[in-house]
Amino acid sequence: MKINNHESNVQILKDVSSNLISTFCGDMFSFALGLMLLHATGMSLSFGLSMIIMPIVTLIGVVPIGNLVDTYPHKHILVISLFVRIIALFIYAITIHHFSGMGKLIPTIIFLAINYVSVNVSNSGYTASVHELVNTSHIQRLNSLSQAASSFASTFSPVIAASLYVLVGFQSFIIFQLAAHFIALVILLSMHFHYANASKKEALGPHESQLGKFKLGLQYLMSHKFLRYLICVALFLNFIFAVTNVGLPFIVVQHLHLGNITLGILNSSDAVGMLAGNLIISMAPELKQLAKILAVTMCAIGLALCGIGGLFVANQSELVVRIVGALMVFTVGMSVAFMNTPFGIYMQKTVPTKLMGRVSSTEMSLNMISIPIGTVFYSFIFQFFPNGIIFIASGMLMLGVTGLTMPKFIHTQMPDQDESLETNQ
């Protein structure tokens, strides 16, 4: 059954509303959780606990989650996954007060592990179900507006969470999160998933081993050169972006002593850049010259990183760093939006729906590996060389990789609507 434009627009409105509420409350809850653990344990690890648990859970679940998403109806998976998250949060709410000090880490680690399993299932299930929610001409708007909602939430939720935490305490944030989950569940239940006949047959087909099913997704991924290249680029970008995650706080606060406000301005500029980029994509005509867009944005990121490094080396004025640095970081954020959103669109227009769960699960797991590796690498580098030259070197590396690898794929375009529909049916 073909999804008409009106229904696609309604589905986009529901999805973006759900994503905005869920991400906003989720980010506030994560911030409050970190503060609660910090006060209870006194450990700086409190804010980084999720960054340790998330990659572990993602890697363990890469095979079963991908197979699960590609075997059963996506709406059922999403509803059950969200319901599990609600139950886990409710149990956490009534048990956390029975622990004190370091003991609070026990229920928190268990809760975060269950929560991230559910989140990974939902993310893979959502990625695989896009063709069941909107028609192909609306995929770009759905992806860009969903990303814009997440960027908006990431920009403002920490500020609101920090203000509310003093007034209402951690328990109120649990209530906010539960309310957000219930609203998201109601919206999800109201959405119509248009299943293709091929997907139903796949679900009713003969049972294979978990590894056997997953290998089909890997074989597709390995046979698609440009998709494989894009995933390698994503791994490289996640590694390089650790230079900002680690380097900005270290250089701005510890080395240049420009204060937390300056750091906050730079971090906010990144999120605002991503928000602006996704809003531009949502209003732009359908993207066609995919490889050229990616080449331009990769060069922009490389030049911006060089600019940030040059700024730290040449001028340590607080005002200049705030203004010029914010523009540079804004450029990085906007460029990331023009990398992530077209990549997601390309995957959804290229990968057959019956394989999307396995391919997206593999892609997410690989990205999770590169993030901690990059964090450890740049933490070590900045510890011994706290200098803007590291930013310049990273930017030059980005430009070099772009120049060496992108020309081979420079004429690659986004698949046509009719072609992608035929591939996914």
Cβ–Cβ < 8 Å for 114, 105: no
The residues of the chain that CATH labels 1.20.1250.20 are 5-207, 215-424
**pLDDT surpassing 90 at residue 307:** yes
**pLDDT surpassing 60 at residue 205:** no
d(CA 31, CA 47): 8
pLDDT number for residue 224 = 86
Residue in the block written with tokens 């192909």:
136
**pLDDT surpassing 90 at residue 54:** no
Mean pLDDT of 120-137: 88
**What CATH number has the domain spanning 215-424?**
1.20.1250.20
Nearest to 177 by CA among 37, 35, 31, 29: 29
Distances (CA, A) of 350 to 49, 63, 205, 359: 36, 21, 23, 11
Cβ–Cβ < 8 Å for 242, 374: yes
pLDDT in tens, 367-388: 777 877 888 888 888 888 888 8
Portion of the chain with pLDDT greater than 90, in percent: 27
**pLDDT surpassing 60 at residue 44:** no
Cβ–Cβ < 8 Å for 406, 291: yes
**CB-based contacts of 377: which residues, under 8 Å, 6+ apart?**
239, 242
Residues constituting the chain: 425
Mean pLDDT of 285-306: 89
pLDDT in tens, 78-89: 999 999 999 999
Q: 42: left (phi > 0), else alpha (psi -120 to 50), else beta?
A: left
pLDDT number for residue 396 = 96
d(CA 305, CA 145): 26
**CB-based contacts of 149: which residues, under 8 Å, 6+ apart?**
16, 19, 20, 23
**pLDDT surpassing 80 at residue 341:** yes
Rg (CA), the chain: 22
pLDDT number for residue 334 = 92
**pLDDT surpassing 90 at residue 304:** yes
**What CATH number has the domain spanning 5-207?**
1.20.1250.20
